[in-house]
Amino acid sequence: MRFAEIKRTQKNPQNPDSPPVFFNRMTNEQSTPSISQTSQQLRNQRPPESPQRPSKIARADGGDFSDIIEEEEEEEERELVEMNPRTQRYLVAVEYIGTRFFGAQKQFTCRTVVGVLEDAFQKFIGQPVSIFCSSRTDAGVHALSNVCHVDVERISKRKPGEVLSPHEPTVVKRAVNHFLQKNGGDMMVIDVKCVPSDFHARYKALERTYFYRLSSGKEPLSTFEKDRTWHVPEELGLLAMQKACQVLVGRHDFSSFRASGCQAKSPVRTLEELNVTEVASSMYFPSKLEREQSYCATTSSVSISNNLQVDSTPIAGTSNQLTETSEGGVVQEFGARKRQRCFVVTARARSFLYHQVRLLVGVLKSVGTGDLTVCDVERILEAKDVSAASPMAPASGLYLGHVKYDLPSDA
């Protein structure tokens, strides 16, 4: 008959603050519990979650994810992360076209940014990894630079179990991009940096910048711009939109620009920057007239400013294939598409509420079309109710532009 091993604890009378000693009655052996055993015991002693407590819903934020999460959740996540001294943590910046991604956060049944990136890393190093993003963009939202971190342990393929020195960042970038191009080619690593093991891509972010593109004009949206911008058939008033931005910038209660389902504790946010800029369309090619002017500017003895004075201001809504007539006018050539006016809304803050950027753009667009006034924007902000705001802008025009960090030096 086998007897269960019976243990009792015994304090050291010489040093009461020392860890308890486990005494085995069967073998008369003493042992001190390891740190990992003690940590596991403490975790097991945690009270179970209350059944009334709502489960955490995994969601994407379309650039509007609040970085200020409940303190309890942050503490739990940090405690459960086991630091492996044999791994190297990399900070990885990626760009992607969000059209075919169902958001950034990993989902087991859908194609996501994290899922595709983890798959590429696994093919590179031969073992699974966990990737944590700075911003959980929504389905259809693009990124010029979304930052994440990943821990990689380099194991020898010739001698299994032998840990080698970490890969250089340039090697990681080149290898992961190789596998990304085989999986749709709509995402690419643009930068990699070695960081300390406690550097977190999400919690260490100081600032996030988002861009939103709008195309204004009666002409149908170009095929090349599909799912890259929000097409607004009406003309947009730039000055009115800029005045509305002045009302919204700063520290406010943005409850009117907070979608249902937002898990942030407070609706108060500080919007460091919000403005609208008119820019050239992304698919811009010089017309014949512009090419001739450019040629004259480089060959003529007249100053460049004088040569370009004739066409120094873009002609809104005109074609990029223009021909000068004998009478001195300009006509559009057959088969050429008319240009649309392109606007970019820039929003910069440490954190955003759920769908905050897209709700802000929806109101600014209504101001640009004349459906709302600047006074209406003030009323919507003071209402502190999302039902008072205009319809939310679609995801296709939103871009995560930049995530700012106070990065450690390479030395």
Residues recognised as catalytic: 138
* Tokens matching residue 393: 């802008």
Closest CA to 105 of 56, 58, 55: 58
What amino acid is encoded at 79 in this protein? Answer: E
Question: Do residues 56 and 73 make contact, with C-beta atoms less than 8 angstroms apart?
Answer: yes
SS3 36: helix
Instruction: Name the burial class of residue 157, with classes exposed (0-12), middle (13-18) and buried (19+) by CB atoms within 10 angstroms of its CB.
Output: exposed
If you write DSSP's letter for every residue of 346-406 in order, what string do you get?
Answer: EEEES---TTHHHHHHHHHHHHHHTSS-HHHHHHHHHHT-GGGSPPPPPGGGEEEEEEE--
CA 312, CA 182: separation in Å to the nearest integer? 44
Residues 95-134: b if buried by 16+ CB within 10 A, e if exposed: bbbbeebbbbbbeeeebbbbbbbbbbbeebbeeebebbbb
CA 227, CA 145: separation in Å to the nearest integer? 18
Phi, psi of 122 (to 5 degrees): -65, -40
CA 65, CA 356: separation in Å to the nearest integer? 8
* Tokens matching residue 299: 């060959």
Three-state SS annotation for 240-293: HHHHHHHHHCEEEECHHHCCCCCCCCCCEEEEEEEEEEEECCCCCCCCHHHHHH
